Amino acid sequence: METIIQTYQLTKTFKDATIIKPLDFALQKGEICALIGQNGAGKSTLFKMLAGQLRPTAGDMHLFGKTGRDVAQARRRMGFLVETPVFFPNFTATQNLEYFRIQRGVVEKKRVDEVLEIVSLAKEKRKRFKDYSMGMKQRLGIALCLLSSPDCLVLDEPINGLDAEGIREIRNLLVKLNQEKQITIFISSHILTELQLLATRFVFIKNGVIVEDISKDSLQEKSQKQLQLTVDDTAKTAQLLEQTYVDIQFKVLPNQVIIIHNHVECSGDINRLLLDNGVFVREFRIEARNLEEYFLELVGGNGHD
């Protein structure tokens, strides 16, 4: 499996604040990896270092296995949407991309039409940029990333500020690029739910530190249902659960509430166990775990971007 991005103790300090603490991270070919964190967690700073817009304070970075002076060459195989691209408002989509094609030395003139087709803007290519919707502007930004036929896209908050329709369009586009063109994607957002349907891997960052790195399957397991019980005796309930289910995972909350994370399929047996042992169960319900809340706890808090 080819490693596209590899960082070794990559660090970024501004004045006296360390925005990215020594970071070890690897992105494999074919992944759609979501980087999730609050605004100010360091997402943009990391992406700008990958893009070569910021110099790391310490540590090392390999792109496609290349390091040192060869990184700039390897970067050409990547498309970055890190800052909002500055398009000319009075130019059409075609004119804007033609300008960047010449500026970036992309030889094939037909590439402009190809990328507009890929991002479903071929029918809108004669419309002026200033008349585009927010979603169309973002798709044109992705078209710009695709001009040089990259193997990897690095996209910083590309769905920020989009409506549900715009988010769906970007999501479908990225899945298509990943599956049909085998493009590896590294994408950031501060909203987990927007990326849940897209990513194959989720990396959570808080104050410049990766606090969780989890596959889609594991994430789905975490979002499985849980049992919520309200009982008259939490200590006795906890004791009964631990005696009966060796690997039981639960937490005791205030107001006599117990949340059970696993063995949800045994809900009937658990209810009977408690009743048979004289625990009065006032409320017993199964609810889906709110992933957004789980990860807000994980990545909550403030930082700098």
Q: How confident is the model at residue 290 (pLDDT cuts 50, 70, 90)?
A: low
Amino acid 180 reads E
pLDDT for 92-146, tens place per residue?
A: 999 999 999 999 999 999 999 999 999 999 999 999 999 999 999 999 999 999 9
pLDDT over threshold 50, residue 240: yes
Distances (CA, A) of 74 to 62, 63, 116, 137, 232: 9, 6, 25, 27, 63
pLDDT for res 300: 65
Distances (CA, A) of 232 to 200, 229, 244, 278: 42, 10, 19, 10
pLDDT for res 161: 85
Sequence-distant (≥ 6) Cβ neighbours of residue 217 within 8 angstroms? none
Neighbours of 85 (CB within 10 A): 17
Q: What mean pLDDT do residues 286-304 have? A: 66
pTM metric for this prediction: 0.80
Is the backbone of residue 112 left (phi > 0), alpha (psi -120 to 50) or beta? alpha
pLDDT for res 124: 94
pLDDT over threshold 90, residue 40: no
Helical residues (DSSP H) of the chain, grouped into ranges: 43-51, 71-75, 93-104, 111-118, 134-146, 164-180, 192-196, 216-222, 234-244, 267-276, 291-299
pLDDT over threshold 90, residue 295: no
CA within 13 Å, CB half, 205:
32
3-state DSSP assignment of residue 128: strand
Amino acid 79 reads G
pLDDT for 138-180, tens place per residue?
A: 999 999 999 999 999 999 999 988 888 899 999 999 999 999 9
pLDDT for 55-86, tens place per residue?
A: 999 999 999 999 989 999 999 999 999 987 88
Domains and CATH numbers, the chain: 3-220 (3.40.50.300), 224-288 (3.30.70.260)
Give me the count of residues in the chain: 305
pLDDT over threshold 60, residue 303: no
pLDDT for 276-285, tens place per residue?
A: 999 999 999 8
Share of the chain above pLDDT 70, in %: 96
Instruction: Answer for the pair 149, 108: CB distance below 8 angstroms, yes or no.
Output: no
Instruction: Answer for the pair 234, 252: CB distance below 8 angstroms, yes or no.
Output: yes
